[in-house]
Structure 1
């Protein structure tokens, strides 16, 4: 697709559109619940320290020329970019926030992909189900363990592979407004 064609294209309302260097056009649904949930989690990451490496919607390189832009990723302190991006090997935790249209992808597809690549902790935050699922012990096909925690049940400590603990405040996660696309 040419630059001119892209500039004339009307993309659906409610989607963020990203253009990859490799020519890919990535459309991701955006909502107030989605962005507020990511922001809430970003605030929780501040407890890891001012210089903790935390990214949101930033490409991470995976094998086989795959790139993922996780809603949130916590990287090792000594992580260094390899070329333009950090690599999957630098990741301690990935969080995906469920959108109305992304539930299957976030619960199933991403769990299989991130587990296959050995991401130590994969967290699914689902504002619509008011729950957080923490996956640990990656395998070649997903994760061995997955624990579900209801929103509004206090602070959830999550151990990271570098010895730090990330604490997710389940009381502070935003809740969707009534009628806001329940699954």
Structure 2
């Protein structure tokens, strides 16, 4: 019932009893905030854009992605949305989740037919846009560097999500403070 978890970590509890500790950084948090702002500006303040909220996938492969964009008519089943409601899923890379965000999540989201998967990497200062899902991932992957303007991403429902690559935050240099 009570536990103390390390500071700076998000704690996710799976339905199978699994506890997942995910370190969060300022870069991670501020990137999600920037993306949420872009979502509100391009899709409206009431667009369904959960972040770090479980989405049900088949075979108990649930995910709590960083910003996701859902269909306007998406309806929760209990407390969760279904993967079938997802138009776009983003994963913001953390130093501890590089392989998972670039490889594991890309394969998983493609396998379940998520139309668009974004990998947003503040450390590499790039966004990888995956489209055309397949059983093993995605056919197309296009890399866009930070600072190259607005990335217009057409969604399957006819709306367009505009990600401002000029406004995504970059990591600050580390200082040696004692």
TM interval, short-chain normalised: over 0.9
2:9 aligned to which of 15, 18, 40 = 15
Q: Does 1:28 align with 2:28?
A: no
1:145 aligned to which of 134, 140, 156 = 140
Q: Does 1:49 align with 2:44?
A: yes
For 2:36 and 2:106, the matched residues in 1 are separated by 21
RMSD: 1.3
The structure in which a higher percent of residues are strand is: 1
1:75 aligned to which of 63, 70, 74 = 70
- CA displacement at 1:139 relative to structure 2: 0.1
Query: Unmatched 5+ residue regions in structure 2?
Result: none
Query: Unmatched 5+ residue regions in structure 1?
Result: none
Partner residue, 2:155: 160
- CA displacement at 1:15 relative to structure 2: 1.3
Partner residue, 1:63: 58
User: What TM-score, normalized to structure 2?
Assistant: 0.93
For 2:118 and 2:12, the matched residues in 1 are separated by 23
For 2:107 and 2:14, the matched residues in 1 are separated by 23
Matched residue count: 174
Partner residue, 2:169: 174
